[in-house]
Structure 1
Amino acid sequence: MSKRVHFSSTNRVYSPVPGTPSPSASTSSLPSSPDLPTPPPELDIDDPSQYPRSPYPHNLNFDHLFPEFEVDKEMHVHACLAYDPFSQPAVAHDLSVPIAHVREQYPLFSLQEPATQPPLQSLIVICPDFLPWDIHIKSSAVHPDAYVSVDDVVTTIYKELRLPVHHIEYQGLGPDKYAVDAAYFARLSRIENQQQRDQEASKGVKRVDFLRGRNRFLGLCVTPRGNDVWELNVS
């Protein structure tokens, strides 16, 4: 019996001053592939201070990518979240593992620091090569001067990638659906406890599976959509 999937410009960086505290019923199935598991059936889901400059030796110039676009020269992204195509990320965590494990990889004080400088009350993260959804991030604090923190970014990305995928979104993948299937089963295979694995399997394909196995967080970089829209880079 075959496996089945179930449905339910310039990148500017700032480095803070050290030590600052701071699926259910199925109606149809898609055809099987001889090399990959059977794609999932359709389902209906109700979608319910002053900071020093970059720690890197140079500003990362993306002007050749967006020659017509000019970003506010004073907007910087936190060093723990910054994408640098010329070096390893400050914190390269796995986007598919529980958020508690991710937080352990960040310096404790940095999690509560602003994700950007100047701070923003909200921002959007996109990943156009893999995710058809924008990730909207707001400050988890409620006071008037609240800002999006490093923890807000890390936590919201994790939560958004854990949302289930609707069958219409899945069917729109075309040939890429087989890579998504493979990512789904690979994610399940990493769960050692059988009961937990079965429970996770019953929740179906999730948005993280749309990364098609590219679960390594490489950081955020600027986009032509404005200072409050940042692109998620993965590998």
Structure 2
Amino acid sequence: MPGKHVHFAPSDYISTPTPSYSYASLPSSAGSSTPSSLGYFGSPYGTTPLPAVPCQINPALLHSGQPLLAYNVSYPVVNVQRHPSQPYDVLMQPATHPPVSHLTLSSPYLLCSVEVTPQTRTGFITVNDVLECIYQTLRQSVTENEFSKLSPDSQRGVSKAYQRRYERIPDPSLREIERQKGLKRVDFLEKRNVFMGLSGTKAGPDVMELHL
């Protein structure tokens, strides 16, 4: 029976982050809160209030068959790899031009949208903010009712994704902690874990499609 071996977090359970683990030794450029050298992409300063005009997506986030940021969304953002063509501080650049303070990301593979807001005091959304909000949204627990609405085939795929996710943790105690946290929204992606970028939609300048 699909879902037989999956686990759901109790309704009053508060999920705490599992200590970070990475699949490679990767550089992180998200640690500094110093505004980056933005080059041609423009300055974020003097943008209050942020104008409601069409947004240009930062090239690092733009949908492409060859993304400039290599990121598996099932892992913490510290694991992001940048293409050699991208500056070291690319994650601190504004996600759009002009900079904005709110974005909604939608995907046909997710039950909910990803609401992106600034995660620091910059007042605008950075490239890192986009990736961090995606990761945090995908870490949200799935209810048994949501799971039951899937087809049997989808339930099997999601169950396997859940099992793969906690079994990849090498430490047995951390692995069991992650298993007990139950299904997460990231499991609904099954094997679609690679960030392929963002593209605009007709729903408005602040609504974008998340490609996985």
Superposition TM-score, scaled by structure 1 size: 0.67
Residue type of the partner of 1:115?
A: A
CA distance change for structure 1 residues 45 and 134 in 2, over 3 Å: closer, same or farther?
Answer: farther
SS at match of 1:217: coil
Aligned-pair CA distance for 1:75 = 2.3
Give the alignment of 1:37-186 within 5 angstroms. 44-45=11-12, 51=40, 75-84=55-64, 87-102=65-80, 105=82, 107-128=87-108, 130-142=109-121, 146-175=123-152, 176-186=154-164
Aligned-pair CA distance for 1:101 = 1.7
Aligned-pair CA distance for 1:3 = 7.0
C-alpha distance after superposition, 1:77-130 (max 9, x if no partner): 11111102xx3111121111122223x5475411111101111110011112x1
Aligned-pair CA distance for 1:147 = 0.9
Provide the identity percentage. Answer: 34
Residue type of the partner of 1:135?
A: V
Stretches of 4+ aligned residues off by more than 2 angstroms: 44-53, 104-108, 140-143
**RMSD between superposed Cα atoms in Å:** 2.5
Distance in 1 between residues matched to 2:166 and 2:14, nearest whole Å:
23
Residue type of the partner of 2:127?
A: V
Does 1:6 find its partner at 2:7? yes
Where structure 2 has 5 or more consecutive residues not aligned to the other structure, the ranges are 16-37, 43-52
C-alpha distance after superposition, 1:181-222 (max 9, x if no partner): 011111122111111111100000001001011101111111
Matching residue of 1:66: none
Residue type of the partner of 1:7?
A: F
CA contact (8 A) 1:75 1:117 kept: yes
Matching residue of 1:214: 192
Where structure 1 has 5 or more consecutive residues not aligned to the other structure, the ranges are 9-23, 25-43, 54-71
Count of matched residue positions in the alignment of Structure 1 and Structure 2: 174
Larger radius of gyration: 1
